Structure 1
């Protein structure tokens, strides 16, 4: 089968062919219809071996952690699935049995540093092997070719909005920094779950226009003059966006760092952080987050903007992702 794989540390991935996996007891084989691309994939392309070894990653591995498709085969002991059924795959890995998972906080699972598409074989291939039903999300009538981003870009943005909701006052103001795949989802969740005015910051005119079309009150190319925000959600994460984002938070508000650009918050802390507020950061989401996002998409409450590429154009898709020219998510269509 076709697969787009990391083959060596610090080297770009490449298309290749590998055997189709066979499901063992409790496992499910999914025929991939579409797989979304994520900026974290770009980070993996540059990752040194010392970091990968600390995370427990194994080389080589197939990229892709925003995957959806159809059930192709099931192993012994797997019940309740229909061959050909449309499913999405839970994006973050979790064990299901630790204290965090048992409390529904599986995004905090200590086993989440390694998973499908990051250290193990992911969904950027014709088939992907799933360890059990817990990792499968029924899609109903949603198209599995484009549904993959709901499980990561969508679910991660939803997790951020849910975390911030207690800090948003009636008719308050929320600033979303970065209106790409995650930020555009966050705008929609804020529109659905709060009465806030939503102010979007993004240098790309197409992204600003799309954010306004899905619910943003206004949009700007920069943060100059922005202040008094109940919540700032930063989907970029540079030194500049972190400093400006925290400075824009009103006392009692919150700043959430979701972007992974590697920025830092400079000292001094006193006088910098929002008084009686909070600063939080995280990566990923819970299974419940992904289930809620899929339900919203099935109800037609949110839009999932994707640009489709054939498998043979994966390099071009990653180049456009890196350039920041796409209004939503890039998806490699394999079906």
Structure 2
């Protein structure tokens, strides 16, 4: 089968011919990939940013951690899935036995595997082997292809917003920095789950137009100050919550500066640094929160919001053979919403 694989850091991936995966355990599931989302984390993998954090996985391996498709084969212990069922996959193959898994916080699993990141083969391929614990069945007849980015971009945004729901009330203001693959989900999720006023911030005016189309109340073009001035014109005392889907360059400083007293800066994007004097924490009583990918249950909840039409995706589809070029497009900021590879 064809697969997009990383052979060396700082080099484009290769489209290789490799063997199809095979059932080895009674809990294994093989999925025929319908669509694989292209994530900025995939770029960071190639740049080696994740190498040490993931234990320096041996190369080559197949990347791609946002996957949806149809059941192809299942292990002998699985009775509720059959060939042809449409599914979306939670990106982590969790063990189910550690304290985190038993508490339902499967993204903290201490014995899990992360296809496409940690050396386990991912979904830039025709077929993917995963665990039954990762499989979320979709309604019969559902086309899984356009849904693939919900598997990471979607649930990461959902997880970040859901944690903040108790902090919102009528009159609450939330600034969303970065209206890309994750940010466009967050705008819709905020509108679906909270009564907050949503302010979208981006460096590109077309993305801001998109944000207002999908529900943002206000749009601010980030200039030399990262959008702080524009936000303060809308919320003179600052916003209650900032969700930063960029997390590098000037956005951490801008995000903290646009907060009201008692506000929360929620970090989703990464690559930069948050540098805040301790007096700021005390005098303004601000909070800084980090976010991982969401849980299995959160992905199931998000798919229900999608079924209800409350959270939809904007995505461009490309053939798997174009994966190296699509990743370059993403790096140049030329993808609106999300990109999906079709084997």
The alignment's TM-score, normalised by the length of structure 2, stands at 0.91
Do the aligned partners of residues 318 and 71 (structure 1) sit closer, same or farther apart at CA in structure 2, a change above 3 Å counting?
Answer: same
Q: CA deviation at 1:93?
A: 3.8
Matching residue of 1:8: 8
User: Given the alignment, which residue of 208, 232, 247 partners 1:237?
Assistant: 247
Do the aligned partners of residues 192 and 124 (structure 1) sit closer, same or farther apart at CA in structure 2, a change above 3 Å counting?
Answer: same
Contact 1:10 1:49 in 2 (8 A): no
Contact 2:38 2:339 in 1 (8 A): yes
The answer to whether 1:278 aligns with 2:287 is yes
Matching residue of 1:37: 38
Matching residue of 1:224: 228
Contact 1:230 1:250 in 2 (8 A): yes
Q: CA deviation at 1:142?
A: 3.1
Contact 2:200 2:208 in 1 (8 A): yes
Matching residue of 2:135: 136
Matching residue of 2:63: 63
Contact 1:199 1:216 in 2 (8 A): yes
Name the CA distance, whole Å, in 2 between partners of 1:170 and 1:49.
Answer: 40
| Equivalence map 1:1-335=2 (5 Å) | 1-24=1-24, 25-47=26-48, 51=52, 55=55, 57-111=57-111, 114-118=113-117, 119-131=119-131, 133-140=132-139, 141-222=141-222, 223-225=227-229, 226-227=231-232, 228-260=238-270, 262-271=271-280, 275-334=284-343
CA RMSD between the two structures: 1.8
Name the CA distance, whole Å, in 2 between partners of 1:246 and 1:192.
Answer: 25
Do the aligned partners of residues 50 and 288 (structure 1) sit closer, same or farther apart at CA in structure 2, a change above 3 Å counting?
Answer: closer
Structure 1 segments, 4+ long, off by >4 Å, are none
Do the aligned partners of residues 248 and 22 (structure 1) sit closer, same or farther apart at CA in structure 2, a change above 3 Å counting?
Answer: same
Q: What do the CA deviations read for 1:73-126 (whole angstroms, capped 9, x no partner)?
A: 1122221112100001111343222112211122222345x5111021001100
Question: Please, which runs of 5 or more residues in structure 2 have no aligned partner?
Answer: 233-237
Q: CA deviation at 1:163?
A: 1.0
Q: CA deviation at 1:31?
A: 0.6
Question: Please, which runs of 5 or more residues in structure 1 have no aligned partner?
Answer: none
The alignment's TM-score, normalised by the length of structure 1, stands at 0.93
Contact 1:245 1:255 in 2 (8 A): yes
Contact 2:93 2:133 in 1 (8 A): no
| 2:169 match: secondary structure | coil
| 1:316 match: secondary structure | helix
Do the aligned partners of residues 8 and 220 (structure 1) sit closer, same or farther apart at CA in structure 2, a change above 3 Å counting?
Answer: same
